[in-house]
Structures are given as structure tokens and as C-alpha cells.
Structure 1
Amino acid sequence: MFTSQGKPVEGNDPMQPWAVLAFDHRERAFAAVRATGMTHDEIRLSKQLILEAYTLAVDRGLGQVQPGLLVDEEFGAPIAREAAARGHVVSMPVERASEAVFTFEYGSDYQQHLLEFRPTFAKALVHYRTTDTDQTKQTQLTRLRELSDFLAEQSIAFMLELIVGQTSGTSGPDGAVPTVDVDELCRSMAEIQHAGVQVDLWKVEGVSSQENAARVAAQAMLTDPLATCVVLGAGAPSDIVGHWLDVAAATPGFSGFAIGRSIWGEPVAAWLDGRLSREDAIEQIASTYRSCAMRYTGVRVG
């Protein structure tokens, strides 16, 4: 994969898709996987456990995909440093969690924080729809353009997690498979592109049909032929995530996945509740992550 400036992403073979294990969730989103919530210490310990599971899966081999992890600075700074020191591809978020309008986590200091870690990708999660108010859209577009310009100057790739919402999609044996609102997604992508925001990797909600996935990929490449898409998990159950992975894998212009809670949510909660040993929780997370990675290349595991 290459950045929008035509520079190769460090450590990446452009012919291989990404398998990103995402655990950059901050307090509310991370703790929500457990009915009783979590303390800050439990969140930090859980993220260390996820790192160990990630490392185990990578050591076992992920086939023809390239591993990576997405972790936050607030609870995962030591993890980001440790993973980078081991040569793993590290991505980090820049958005303040749980904000309706995209806001930088560290305000005007976000650039210094990024330069301290220099992740392969800087990720911004944005809730954006073309039906939002003009003021809201302009605020978000201005901030995204600022971020985009800075990242281009620093040769840090830009991952944009664009959330527009889902609807019912293709019918399957177990009922309708949810899909992103493809019309709205493509329109929102177009507005962001028109504002001069340069995105290297669009992290998008799952698409239930290859035809619609192709529309999303084509929109991503409209202003940058090197841009690609990865599918996120949205905390969905394994059968739904599996369908989204199959669609993405079959669609040119998609280059892997960045999935989190669907992989580690239940094992982390079970470990904290005493229903799983630490070793078994690590094993479950590693196995599920590895299965997703192998499935993306057409290999079913377990």
C-alpha cells in the first residue's frame, strides 16, 4: 500500500491485505463489552492481554495477510511503544472519544503526540452524513483537511473511519445481513474528497454485496487511485463479520480489515469475570483473529 503522496507505507507489501486488530477504544466503548464495566486498571490489563494474543497469532502465521494493530495512547502507550520496538505496524487514533463532531484528542497538541509515536497510520473516526447541518460538516471538513495536510507533510498514512450508519442488506440463510448505507457512504466520501482531504485507507462499515462494495471502492479511488478500503467489525457477531469479510475479500479496492470487539470482546469480559483463564482468553482472541485473517485469503480455520 502507498500513501496519497505515492510513498510506500513502511513495512507493507502492497500486494498483501491488512489484518488489523483494533483495540484503540477508549473507556466507555472498551468497558461496554462487560456488563459491569471496567476500571482503568482493568482496561490497561485487558489491552496488554490483547497484545499478547495478537503476538501469539502472528507467531503462528497469518497466511498471505499483513498484521497490524490499532491502539490508543491513553490506555495503550506502552503497548504502542513495545509493538513498534518489535517491528509491528502500529496505528493510533487522533479523535476524542464519544464526540458527535470530530475533535482532536489532544487539541492543538495532537501533532506533537503523533510525532512522539510516529505510527504507520493515524486514524480519525468521524460520524458524517451529507444531511448534517452545514456548520457541522464545515467544522469536521476543516479539521480533517488540517489533519490530512499535516500527515502528508510527515509521511504518516491517513486512515479515516467513516461512520454513516447501516441498513438491511442482502438476505442470507439466517435473514438479512446488515450493510452500510452505501448511497450515503459514497456521497459522504465524495464531500470529504471534494474538501481536499487525502485519505489513504478508508475504514468502512460492512457491505453485504460485492456490487455495492465495488461502488465504495470506486469512490475511494476517485481522487486517489492508490486509496483502498478496509472493513470494520462494529461489534457484530461472527457470522455477520464473516460475510462482510468474504465480500470485501472478493472486491478489488478492498485491502483487508480492521476489527476489534468482534474478536476480543467476549474473551476479555469472560476473563475479567473469572469465566476464562488468562491463557484461554489469549488463546481465544488469537484464534479468532487468525481465523479472520486466514478467511480473508480464502482459508477456513477451525
Structure 2
Amino acid sequence: MVTGYTKPLYILPFDHRASYESGLFGWHEPLTPEQTAEVAHSKWIIYTGFQDAIGDHVAKENVGVLVDEQFGTDVLRDAVKHGFITAVSVEKSGQEEFDFIYGDDFPKHIEQFSPTFAKVLVRFNPEGDVEMNKRQLERLKKLSDYLTQSKRLFMFELLVPAEKEQLARFHGDKAAYDLELRPQLVRQAIRACQDAGVEPDVWKIEGLDRREDCEKTVEVARRDGRDNVGLIVLGRGAEEEHVVQWLQTAAAVPGFIGFAVGRTSFWQPIKDVEEHKISEKDAAAEIARRFEQWIRVFQEAKQASAKNT
């Protein structure tokens, strides 16, 4: 049975690869060694912002980084050395169908860093391509079994993109899909994974607008004795006010233990550095400020909810 994870968990994710290279630098694979070094350096700036936030008295045992091996090897090694929570991504970047970036060698790549979590990003719509979903579940079961056997924690980032027919039900309105249909599909996707023997310790979930949807999602994630499974909210690169709303909604629900907000934290500061508008030091300071803000918002909402119960 899954171990689970229930401690507060505040993650700064910057494991973005394909979208990061193209969106911030205008580059595409394969990169030159110089380009690779520049991307890696920009990720060190983000990590510096993370460290600045910790220096401002954020509780070290509750915070961590999620970063990729390709550009974040130095970050991962330094974070492990300093005792931060670490998560390393194991999926190929920018793919519709989940597969391992390093194929069957994935255990070796996880073990070289000994991260707190191995993380996958999976696009899984239960009403989508049946055969693709089946293939994804088979690969995910392989990862889940390995992590269970090696006593490593499993973080599962679940995205449920709308199928064309689903979006058509809402006349192309993605916000309506997010509000009315996606929460139900998220729960179906979690059940499908569990029924296939895929057992994350932490589910990383796209923000939900309604408290009752958060409660129902926790109920499914923790069904049948999975009492210690935790859930965290991801930011989707959304505007600040929307991220705040998702954090406040989730924080009020037991079972949601934190968040992983990446692009809303780092994208603009790194873009401004690349465009020579601000210094690296100022970018790190702004990333630290935003990360601290999410922690404050989440903690205050959780405390307020506890007082009202």
C-alpha cells in the first residue's frame, strides 16, 4: 500500500524544458553546449530565489524544488546537499503521451540524485484515447512498482486537457470546462490510475475553483485506506489572482498539504533578465517574494479554516 505524505509541502517547480527553451529563449532541441549552459544558469537564478526565500525564515523542512536533470543537475545536487526537499522529473518533455525520458534506465537516473520524490507529468483524460491511456498506465505502473520497492516517494502531476467534444459542450469556453467538467474527470483519472496499481504519495492537481470539488478529490485520492496520500495545487502559469484563489480554496480542505507554483513565480523575472531589464539579483529577489507570498496565502487560509471548524 502507498506510504503517502502529509507534511506541509511548498514546492518551487522549474523542471520545464521544451516550453522553457522556446518560450524564454526562442530555442529548440538540439541545443548547443553554450545554449544548454545558459538555460542551466537561468535555472540557478531561480534556485537562488528559492534559497533567498528560505533565508527569510521559511521553514526549511516544508519547502523544496522540482527540477529536471537536463538543466538542473547542479541545482539538484546542491539542494540535496543542503537538505532541501527535492523532486526530479522522469518524463519526456512536451509530449501528449507519457513516456520515460531515459527509457528503461529511469531507475539509474533517479538513484544518482536520491531525491525526496520522483515526479511525473501525465496528460490523462479518462474520456480520451483509450489505447494511449492504457499504454500510459502500463508505464506508470512500472514506475510506481519500482518506487514502492525502492522505498522512494512518488509525485504525480495530473493534467486533464479537454477533448474536442468535451470543449464543444461548453461552446469552446475553457473556463466553463474547468469549472463544470474537469473536476469530475480528475476524479475519474485518479480512480483509473489507482485501479491500475499506480499509487502516488502526492497528487499534484490543477487548481479547482470550488471547495466541494477539492473535498471530493481528496476523498477519491484517499479512498480504500490511502489515508496518508497528500494533494498539492499547481499554478498552470495563471495570473496571480487566480493562483491565490486556488491556493485559498485548496488550503481550507484537509488533505491539500501545499502547492507547486512555477511559471507564475519565475517566468517574468527570468524573461526580464534575458531582455536585460533587471539584474539576476533582482530576479532572484522577485522570485523569492512570490514564493513567500504563495506560502503566506496558503498558510493563512489553512489557519483561518481551522479557526472556523
When the two structures are superposed, what TM-score results if normalisation uses the length of structure 2? 0.86
Aligned length: 282
Residue of structure 1 equivalent to 2:255:
253
Map 1:181-196 onto structure 2 (within 5 A): 181-196=182-197
Structure 1 residue 4: Cα displacement: 1.7
Residue of structure 1 equivalent to 2:24:
34
Residue of structure 1 equivalent to 2:15:
24
Provide closer, same or farther for how the CA distance between residues 73 and 134 of structure 1 changes in structure 2, counting only shifts above 3 A. Answer: same
CA distance in 2 between partners of 1:268 and 1:64 (Å): 24
Residue of structure 2 equivalent to 1:239:
241
> Are residues 1:85 and 2:81 paired?
yes
Structure 1 residue 32: Cα displacement: 4.5
CA distance in 2 between partners of 1:138 and 1:43 (Å): 35
Counterpart secondary structure, 2:281: helix
Structure 1 residue 5: Cα displacement: 3.2
Identity over aligned pairs, percent = 31
Residue of structure 2 equivalent to 1:272:
274
AA partner of residue 234 (structure 1)? R
Structure 1 residue 178: Cα displacement: 5.4
Structure 1 residue 65: Cα displacement: 7.7
- Residue 283 of structure 1, aligned match among 282, 285, 299: 285
Residue of structure 1 equivalent to 2:96:
100
Structure 1 residue 165: Cα displacement: 3.0
AA partner of residue 129 (structure 1)? N
Structure 1 residue 184: Cα displacement: 0.6
Structure 1 residue 40: Cα displacement: 2.4
Residue of structure 2 equivalent to 1:171:
none
CA distance in 2 between partners of 1:41 and 1:164 (Å): 33
Residue of structure 1 equivalent to 2:157:
161
Structure 1 residue 37: Cα displacement: 5.2
Structure 1 residue 203: Cα displacement: 0.4
AA partner of residue 109 (structure 2)? H
CA distance in 2 between partners of 1:265 and 1:286 (Å): 13
CA contact (8 A) 1:177 1:208 kept: no
Residue of structure 2 equivalent to 1:75:
71
AA partner of residue 197 (structure 1)? V
Measured on the aligned residues, the alpha-carbon RMSD in Å equals 2.2
Structure 1 residue 177: Cα displacement: 11
Counterpart secondary structure, 1:297: helix
Dislocated runs of 4+, deviation >6 Å: none
CA contact (8 A) 1:33 1:261 kept: no
Q: In proportion to residue count, which structure has more helix? A: 2
When the two structures are superposed, what TM-score results if normalisation uses the length of structure 1? 0.88
CA distance in 1 between partners of 2:205 and 2:252 (Å): 16
CA distance in 1 between partners of 2:177 and 2:257 (Å): 21
What stretches of structure 1 of length at least 5 have no aligned partner? 168-174
CA distance in 2 between partners of 1:35 and 1:96 (Å): 20
CA distance in 1 between partners of 2:177 and 2:269 (Å): 24
CA contact (8 A) 1:65 1:297 kept: no
CA contact (8 A) 2:3 2:229 kept: no
